Amino acid sequence: MIRRTLFSPEHELFRETVRRFIAREIVPFHAAWEDAGIVPRDLWLKAGAAGLLCCTVPEEYGGAGADYLYDVVVFEEMARVGATGPGFMIHTDLVATYLKSFGTEEQKRTWLPKMVTGEAIGSLGMTEPHAGSDLKNIRTRAVRDGDDYVINGQKVFISNGQLCDVLVLATKTDSAAGAKGITLFLVEGDRPGFKRGRNLEKLGMKAQDTSELFFEDVRVPASNMLGREGEGFGLMMTKLAQERLAQAIRSAMVTETVIEWTVEYTAQREAFGRTIADFQNTQFKLAELKTESVAGRVLTDRCIELFLRGELEAIDAAMAKMFLSNLHCKTVDECLQLFGGWGYMWELPIARAYADARVVKIAGGSIEIMKYLIGRDLFKNHRQKGST
């Protein structure tokens, strides 16, 4: 079996810490959180105290100043046990990253220490009812009024929406400028006019709060702007590779874990006088899935290596995201079949994994958008070769 070489002994020691935390503080309660549709705020404080949040935040802002692999360890171990409720990935990999990369010194000192401790929960407000993957068509408006901007509009499918204390919000400051009219703002959760709609009932990831958000004359100071006016779309584009890589990391781990569950189950479950694992169909199915999962793991780890060196291109991340998302869904579907009727029971992890899987073909950019981007890049390169 191909051995992973990304992680140092220090990373693996941290992995053991993360596993113990998850086993103690998350796994016993996750089913209850699924019923509630939300995790308690004190979990975030416990995760912060254990060092699971925003590992790469520099020490000057209260973080550990660790490398990205520490965040990867947290994402992988959460995925391994199907802990989809706590929205740590959005908080750590997106909101904190936007602040680190584009925030002013004041913004960083205000929010990053609190995000590291779990005192402040971050969320990303981009998707709208009329604009999913096509962010250029968002309708939430921010209009300058003296030293402030007044925001009106709505967002939907916002992870951590019920709990968030700070929201990175995409707005239109110039409706006629297309992508160049998009501006990002930090919006505090207690701003007058910022209203949280219902906690959406989803097919899967039931413990993660996902919300509609409404903005009615929300006034924020110009100092809350992230980057400069009109730069928002460009800033979002610089983080696409990292967002898609995180999706691939989660899918790679779930794929491997589900195969392990299925090997264990089929080796014990009997039918017609022998175990299900003794049937050639079972062996062939799992052999195919295992081989594809190893290919997916190699691709993902290579992308992580490139990201650590600052060399991961958006198209490579899109290919990893597309391949691993498809494999993730394929694996849980075919493995559930090998569990038979028990696989359809919510009490088994495979049933939860099946429900949780479907969104990965949508989140972080739909599979269709990934195909479009990859195909466009192919023909762009073809035309450039033809002109030389």
Report the catalytic residues. 243
* Angle, helices 240-268/314-339, rounded to nearest 10 degrees: 20
Question: CA-to-CA distance for 26 and 9, rounded, in angstroms?
Answer: 25
Which neighbouring-strand residues pair with 218? 151
Indicate left, alpha or beta for 44 from its phi (over 0: left) and psi (-120 to 50: alpha): alpha
- 22 contacts 14 by C-beta, under 8 angstroms: no
Per DSSP, helices labelled H in 56-123 are 68-80, 88-89, 96-102, 105-117
**Tokens linked to 2:** 């191909």
Angle, helix 280-308 to helix 68-80, in steps of 10 degrees: 160
Q: Look at the block and give the residue holding tokens 């002109």.
A: 387
Q: What is the secondary structure of 249-304 as a DSSP string?
A: HHHHHHHHHHHHHHHHHHHH-EETTEEGGGSHHHHHHHHHHHHHHHHHHHHHHHHH
Spatial contact of 98 and 126, defined as CB atoms under 8 Å apart: no
16: Cβ contacts below 8 Å, ≥ 6 apart: none
Q: Which helix (H) or strand (E) holds 125?
A: strand 122-125
Nearest alpha carbon to residue 125 among 105, 139, 146: 139
Helix (H, G, I), strand (E, B) or coil at 104: coil
| Backbone φ and ψ of 203, nearest 5° | -65, -45
- Tokens 């916002």 identify what position? 158
Tokens (6 digits) for 17: 């810490």
